Amino acid sequence: MQARGGHAEATRRFRLKGRQFELQIAFASPDPSAAVLRQINTLLRSLEVGAIATPPAAAPARPLQRGSGDGVEVEVHRSGLVTFHFDTTSELYRRLQGRPLALGCLDFDSTDPWEPNQWSTSTKTLAATVSIVINDATRPRPPYATLEPATEARPPLAGCYVGGSQGRRWNDPRAQRAAAEIALTEAGRRFFDERAVARDLALFVRSPKLKAVRRAAKRGADAPSAASIRSGLPPRVVTQRERRQPTAAGEIGIWSDRGILIEVSARSATGKRLFIQLRDGRIGDHNLGMLAFVF
């Protein structure tokens, strides 16, 4: 022990497993009492130097939501943690290997019309289990930030999805849906279904057959008959004598006034009718809203 600037200090140096340590004790006075020294020695005898035992990990909280579909199971926690469990034997897992993994989740401000809030990222690498955290700290930044809309999803969620290489041509089954869509609520299930129908219609009016009809109309030609438009197209495209004539699931109906107006329509699994009007070859009224981009 030695006195320094009006107080006393005691120093003890030692080595443990090849590492050097130094213990210093500072006293308030230059001459500590016997009682203080006994108290310090008692504390020193209780001191242990070594590894601190790691407490057992807490059991994970139960998910707020759980859902599955297309070879993926999703667990959503109230904290914003979302975990995707992939079936490694599935066709989806094989198809996504070696590609950037796009994951996203959504909820809604409104379901009529659809006003989705989304959180998405495409920076993840495929694995049997992949987790994302939906909160402000992990908000995607360009070039990975989602463009529509700016508001982010928050648990509880309506659904989650896995992106992937998708077709951009009409009648390509990959064009209508994400690589995997996991509905967590009935609203999420309706949204994924109606979005698929809307994408089908939006791509249909940009298909080669409809592009030719639209170009002719812009040059002043009358709209051809529905039967003429339908000729040469797949059987799921049907003609309609009346504009609001029902179509079966998977069908696209065509109605024409043989003048300036053509209307194409389809129905979702719940029976909602979605339509796009072509007026003089240009996009007219439609009710796709934010489900698909129509041009």
| Mean local confidence (pLDDT), 206-220 | 96
- What per-residue confidence (pLDDT) applies to 148? 41
- What per-residue confidence (pLDDT) applies to 152? 78
Which tops the pLDDT comparison, 141 or 63?
63
DSSP string, the chain: -EEETTEEEEEEEEEETTEEEEEEEE-SSSS--HHHHHHHHHHHHT---SPPPPPPPPPPPPPSEEEEETTEEEEE-TTSEEEEEE-TTSHHHHHHTTSPEEEEEEEEEEETTEEEEEEEEEEEPP-SEEEEE-SGGG---TTSS--S-SSPP-SS-SEEEE------STT-GGGTS-SEEEESSHHHHHHHHHHHHHHHHHHHTTSHHHHHHHHHHHTTPPPPPHHHHHTTS-TTEEE-SSTT----TT-EEEEE-SSSEEEEEEE-TT--EEEEEEETTEEEEE--TTSS---
* 223-251 pLDDT, tens digit each: 999 999 999 999 999 999 999 999 999 99
- What per-residue confidence (pLDDT) applies to 293? 92
Which tops the pLDDT comparison, 209 or 36?
209
- What per-residue confidence (pLDDT) applies to 89? 95
Asked whether the predicted pLDDT for residue 139 surpasses 70, the reply is no
Asked whether the predicted pLDDT for residue 151 surpasses 70, the reply is no
Residue 145 — very low, low, confident or very high, per pLDDT cuts 50/70/90?
very low
Compute the mean pLDDT over every residue in the chain, rounded to the nearest whole number: 86
- What per-residue confidence (pLDDT) applies to 25? 78
* 63-81 pLDDT, tens digit each: 999 999 999 999 999 999 9
- What per-residue confidence (pLDDT) applies to 49? 67
- What per-residue confidence (pLDDT) applies to 59? 54
Rounded to two decimals, what is the model's pTM?
A: 0.75
- What per-residue confidence (pLDDT) applies to 143? 43
- What per-residue confidence (pLDDT) applies to 27? 74
Asked whether the predicted pLDDT for residue 117 surpasses 90, the reply is yes
